[in-house]
Structure 1
Amino acid sequence: MAESITAQRLADWGKPELDLSRADWQSGSQGAGDVQIAFVEGFIAMRNAARPGSPSLIFDPAEWRAFVRNARDGAFDLT
């Protein structure tokens, strides 16, 4: 039942249910960072490296560009 609910939520957001089991996860800080990304089937997945079994965020290319642009512009900086 949980899988069908998850699949429906992803479909509602226009996201496919990706198989991340063979994803090539990359860290931006030579493996010392808390965030990892993987490029899978034309989408970008992001996960917490300390909890790799937890859910991943899935971005389409336009969402990823917007996220990176806003991060570079300081939109997520803590005050």
Structure 2
Amino acid sequence: MGDLQKAWWRKSSYSTHNGECVEVASNLPGLVAVRDSKTPTSPALLLTPAEWSAFLTHLKNGA
């Protein structure tokens, strides 16, 4: 597991204002971390930059 202590978390620009938010940290070398903002102490989903890119592409294509 990656060290997330230096993660800079940001909320998705598509997140709603009712607490249904996804946060992403992309400042970690070789790692993209994703978490639910409602439970920030829960384990984060850890992806490689290539996996994150593929995920975003899949979403943009109407997954």
The TM-score by the shorter chain falls in which range? Answer: 0.7 to 0.9
Displacement of 1:69 after TM fit? 0.3
What stretches of structure 2 of length at least 5 have no aligned partner? Answer: none
Aligned residues: percent identity?
A: 37
Compare the two structures and name the one with the higher helix fraction. 1
Give the count of matched residue pairs. 59
Residue deviations 1:1-37 (CA, integer Å, cap 9, x gap): xxxxxxxxxxxxxxxx211122100112387451000
With normalisation by structure 1, the TM-score equals: 0.65
Structure 1: distance between partners of 2:6 and 2:53: 24
**More RCO (CA 8 Å, sep 6+):** 2
TM-score when normalising by structure 2: 0.79
Q: Structure 1 residue runs of 4+, over 2 Å off?
A: 29-33
Q: Which has the larger radius of gyration?
A: 1
CA RMSD of aligned residues (A): 1.8
Tell me the residue number matched to 1:3: none
